[in-house]
Structure 1
Amino acid sequence: MPELPEVETVRRGLAPTMEGAVVEKMELGRPDLRFPFPQGFSELVEGKRIISLGRRAKYLLIELEGGLTIISHLGMSGSFRIESPLEVETPGDFHHPRSKDGKHDHVIFYLRGAQGAARVIYNDPRRFGFMHLVDRSNIDLYPAFVGLGPEPTGNALSADYLASRFGGKSQPLKSTLLDQKVIAGLGNIYVCEALWRAHLSPLRAAGTLVTKTGKPKAQLVELTQKIRDVITDAIAAGGSSLRDHIQTDGTLGYFQHSFSAYDRQGHACRTPECGGTIERIVQAGRSTFFCAACQK
């Protein structure tokens, strides 16, 4: 399932075509995806100008004039592509290409913007993605957003904040970081990478990174920065491109080729002079990759 950097890559890829454009027509190929589409979905969207594209955690936000916002989740296999009368923006050769089979084109936005007409098509073979329509003034009440923690790249994420959430916790560090109420949008891949960069064991109790007076230890300060760094690096590289994820213009992100822990079971640890080997364990049903030699 795409993680935060992948969704941010999609947002940035769609923005030049969608922002400022008017939805002249919206075509639904079926009544539902993972969930039914909102009642009167097309009628409520058609004729509206797209003000901006945003993101909250792993959700894409399409903000419309008139106060409505489309909340979109890509699920396991969802993707957007952009088509104009002159070209289909899917250049390149792909190791694991996303579906372009028309029978899986479930939502089509017919747009008219400053550069003319274009179609933005949502394709989803497995149909685990979804689109909801909410009043923007109440967006914080959307069930998935209630109680969400700060974004991993925002100013609200600090060592002091994490100390306030970690204090007294015997829960493993990996599980604590995956809690969306602690940090929004931080997923399995990038937790593994951040912990490797910070040389911290995923099995370590979260509370051990906080002093008795509730202050962050130096290791927690370092971890906070590594979380920021790994997400920033992934966004800059265009997402991890796990399995068949591609950018909206069809190109693959390449951060997956620089993973240091995730999915590297049996490979030598890349920490200089470590000499250890990346191991795989299962925590709460999720694969965890780490080096027991240098992650303590």
Structure 2
Amino acid sequence: MPELPEVETTRLSFADRIAGARIEAVRLGKPLRWPLGVKPEKLVGRTVRGVRRRGKYLLVDLDAGVLLMHLGMSGSLRFDRAMPEAALHDHFDLVTSQGVLRLNDPRRFGAVVFAEGESAPEAVKLLGGLGVEPLEEGFDLAAFQAGLKRRKAPIKQVLLAGDLVVGVGNIYASEALFLAGIRPTLSAAKISRPRAARLHAAIKEVLARALEKGGSTLRDFSNAFGETGYFQLEAMVYDRKGEPCRVCGTPIRMIRQGQRATFFCPHCQKS
């Protein structure tokens, strides 16, 4: 699933190019996770003001309303002056005066939802429960430490939940926990203040590094230019089951948490 670095990389690859564009048509393919919420022709004539990100959502601001886009498990966006005819897994085209924004999603867990604004019920339902952004000043250490103390669930699951800090998905949760030396099965409430501080710093460091590398391409992620990411090439634990730890040489282990694969070093992350 595209996580925060992949979504932000995607945003950066087309936001400037689509800003100021006038919507000329909207084409829908097979149904996505949620309905668009407005008749496509109602969007024609509106202007794209800009593109923001909130967690794993892209917010395409219009002069009236906003399009909330989610890439789901396997989605990707392309933006170009001209696009070939829509293929099997192309499910949404936003045709503008400056190019076509196309969502390709083989598994169709992605979504494009229109809302009149961020206070509209559709937007509140999707965005209202999201935690703070980890790469912004609002990611406060004291608040993070207090939030961990209120949660008894395993720390990996707490990070994935997204209500304490947003956008730390499966790849980067494993990587941040390794960097902080914390075993992913440890209850969040049992993490000491010094270790919580290390985890807070590790989350920021891992996400910033992944963004610098254009995200991670494990199967089919690419940005709106069609470019892949490279962070996976330097991952310390993720997707490295059985391979030697880059620090101590101990074989990396893989366990299942909430049906998601978790990777860690049993020596570097003893508790």
User: Cα offset for 1:168?
Assistant: 5.2
Question: Are 1:293 and 2:267 counterparts?
Answer: yes
Match of 2:107 in 1: 126
Which of 56, 78, 82 lines up with 1:81 in the alignment?
78
Secondary structure in structure 2 of the residue aligned to 1:71: strand
TM superposition score normalised by structure 1? 0.85
What do residues 34-80 of structure 1 show as CA deviations (whole Å, max 9, x unaligned)? 2222231x2222111101101111111100002x0100111122222
Question: 2:253 corresponds to which letter in structure 1?
Answer: E
Identity over aligned pairs, percent: 37
Q: How does 1:1-296 map to 2 (within 5 A)?
A: 1-30=1-30, 32-40=31-39, 42-66=40-64, 68-85=65-82, 102-112=87-97, 117-138=98-119, 142-167=124-149, 169-210=151-192, 217-271=193-247, 274-295=248-269, 296=271
Is the contact made by 1:277 and 1:293 (CA closer than 8 Å) also made in structure 2?
A: no
Is the contact made by 1:21 and 1:49 (CA closer than 8 Å) also made in structure 2?
A: yes
CA distance, structure 1, for counterparts of residue 118 and residue 261 of structure 2: 38
Secondary structure in structure 1 of the residue aligned to 2:167: coil
What do residues 249-277 of structure 1 show as CA deviations (whole Å, max 9, x unaligned)? 11111111111111101111112xx2322
CA distance, structure 2, for counterparts of residue 103 and residue 46 of structure 1: 24
CA RMSD of aligned residues (A): 2.0
User: Cα offset for 1:218?
Assistant: 1.5
Distance 1:103 1:175, change over 3 A: closer
Instruction: Give the gaps of 5 or more residues in structure 1.
Output: 90-99, 211-216
User: Cα offset for 1:137?
Assistant: 4.4
What do residues 133-184 of structure 1 show as CA deviations (whole Å, max 9, x unaligned)? 1122415852122222101112121221111111254322111222211111
Distance 1:75 1:137, change over 3 A: closer
CA distance, structure 1, for counterparts of residue 100 and residue 187 of structure 2: 49
Is the contact made by 2:50 and 2:62 (CA closer than 8 Å) also made in structure 1?
A: yes
Q: Quick check: which has more Rg, 1 or 2? A: 1
TM superposition score normalised by structure 2? 0.92
Match of 1:214 in 2: none
Secondary structure in structure 2 of the residue aligned to 1:266: coil
Runs of 4+ in 1 over 3 A off after TM superposition: none
CA distance, structure 1, for counterparts of residue 120 and residue 42 of structure 2: 17
CA distance, structure 2, for counterparts of residue 52 and residue 148 of structure 1: 21
CA distance, structure 1, for counterparts of residue 27 and residue 11 of structure 2: 21
CA distance, structure 1, for counterparts of residue 114 and residue 153 of structure 2: 36
Secondary structure in structure 1 of the residue aligned to 2:157: helix
